Structure formats: C-alpha cells, structure tokens
C-alpha cells in the first residue's frame, strides 16, 4: 500500500473535515494518511464485496478520471462486472428502463452489422449508423451486461463521480469508494481513505476489491 503511494492526500486546505481522524501528518505541504486506519476500512469494504460475490451479485465499477480508467476497466472485466470509465450518463441508475432501451439498440445495431444487414443502406446512411453505434458504445458498452440495477457501486473518487454517487444514494444502493482527503467519507457506505489520484494507488485498491470478489466466489 505504501509502495503504491496510497498514503498521499492533498493539501490541508483541501481536506474535508470527515478525513481528519485518518491523517497521520504532513510532508512537503501534502497530508499523509494513516495507512493502518486505511487498512481497517479496506478490510471492511472487502468483506462486504465478498458477501456480494457469494450471492453472485453485480458491482458497477465507476472511474472516469484518466489516472484510473485502465485499472478500473481491466479490473471490472476480469470478474465480468459492468463498468463506466467514460462520461457518466445521467439516469444510468435512476432511469434504468430508458437506459436499457439504449443498450438494446446498441446490441441490435451491432448484431445487424455483424450479419451484414447494414449493407442495404446507402453509404451516407451507413455513416450515420456507424456514428450512432460509436456514440452508444462510448456511453453504454461497459454496462451491456448490466441487466438490472447493480447490488453495489465501487467508485474511484466519489467527489468527481458525484452524479453516480447521488443516483446510488437516491436508490439506496450501497457504495464502496476510494476517497482522497478532499472527499466526504460519510457519503459512501464503505469509504476507503486513500490516494485516488495516482495510477499505482488506484490500481492497488482496484486489485484489492477484485481479489475480494474472486475470493467470495470460491468461498
């Protein structure tokens, strides 16, 4: 955890009051988090994730910041979980029936393209259809496997992913979140205080959650 740089927070001026108990000290103007306390919260989150895996329930992975996209995508795909690493489209959770229609259109257009059925259209029409597929894939490709509301969300930086967080809160969906020192730790059901702005730190925590899910599957 230390080697991944998980202990680095932000400056004191950016710190949310809820994070104060998890601050160990300050180095070069940057607050350092107490990794022993982070470990305790991480274990709580992992136990919850294991319990979801035991019931074969879905977790929606959300991480649109550039530092975490690859880790989030790779991690979610390794356990066949839905994911959002591009823009969060409003209503993914709170207007799920409408979102399902868009996902169904994406699947239908993909199938038509694979069967060669789009050949009946003019070149201009096919270009428009290709653009439609591209747009739908950008927004919804990661949630094609999400046939119902997920059992939980795993969010990288709930402050950045505030819309996803609010939708989950509105529906009472539990949230596991990697939260840096600028986040309100009370926003998520399982907040893990740690560096959410470093490639290595995000990758570390994603792996911890993924491994916990794998362990729950085989329990």
Tens of pLDDT along the chain (219 residues) come to 888 988 988 888 899 999 999 999 889 899 999 999 999 999 999 999 999 999 999 999 999 999 999 999 999 999 999 999 999 999 999 999 999 999 999 999 999 988 888 888 888 998 999 999 999 999 999 999 999 999 999 999 999 999 999 999 999 999 999 999 999 999 999 999 999 999 999 999 999 999 999 999 987
**pTM here?**
0.93
Closest CA to 197 of 51, 30, 40: 30
Q: Which CATH superfamily is domain 12-93+149-218 in?
A: Glucose-6-phosphate isomerase like protein; domain 1 (3.40.50.10490)
- In the chain, where does the domain assigned CATH 3.40.50.10490 lie? 12-93+149-218
Cα–chain center distance at 166:
14
CB crowding 113-151: b at 16 or more within 10 Å, else e: eeeeeeeeeeeeeeeeeeeebeebeebbbbbeebeeebb
Q: What CA–CA distance (Å, rounded) separates 78 from 207?
A: 10
CA–CA distances in Å: residue 30 to residues 65, 174, 189, 200: 21, 31, 26, 18
Task: Tell which CATH architecture fits domain 96-143.
Answer: Orthogonal Bundle (1.10)
């Amino acid at each position: 955890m230390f080697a991944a740089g998980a202990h680095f927070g932000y400056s004191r001026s950016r710190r949310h009051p809820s994070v104060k108990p998890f601050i160990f000290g300050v180095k070069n103007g940057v607050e350092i988090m107490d990794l022993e306390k982070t470990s305790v919260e991480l274990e709580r989150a992992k136990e919850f994730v294991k319990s979801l895996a035991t019931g074969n329930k879905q977790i929606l992975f959300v991480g649109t910041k550039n530092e975490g996209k690859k880790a989030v995508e790779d991690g979610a795909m390794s356990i066949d979980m839905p994911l959002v690493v591009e823009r969060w489209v409003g209503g993914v959770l709170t207007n799920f029936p409408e979102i399902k229609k868009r996902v169904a259109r994406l699947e239908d257009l993909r199938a038509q393209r694979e069967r060669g059925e789009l050949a009946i259209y003019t070149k201009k029409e096919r270009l428009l259809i290709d653009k439609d597929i591209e747009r739908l894939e950008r927004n919804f490709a990661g949630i094609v496997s999400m046939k119902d509301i997920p059992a939980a969300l795993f969010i990288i930086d709930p402050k950045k992913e505030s819309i996803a967080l609010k939708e989950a809160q509105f529906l009472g969906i539990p949230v596991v979140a990697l939260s840096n020192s600028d986040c309100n730790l009370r926003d998520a059901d399982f907040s893990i205080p740690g560096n959410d702005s470093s490639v290595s730190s995000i990758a570390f925590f994603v792996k911890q959650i993924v491994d916990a899910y794998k362990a729950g599957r085989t329990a």
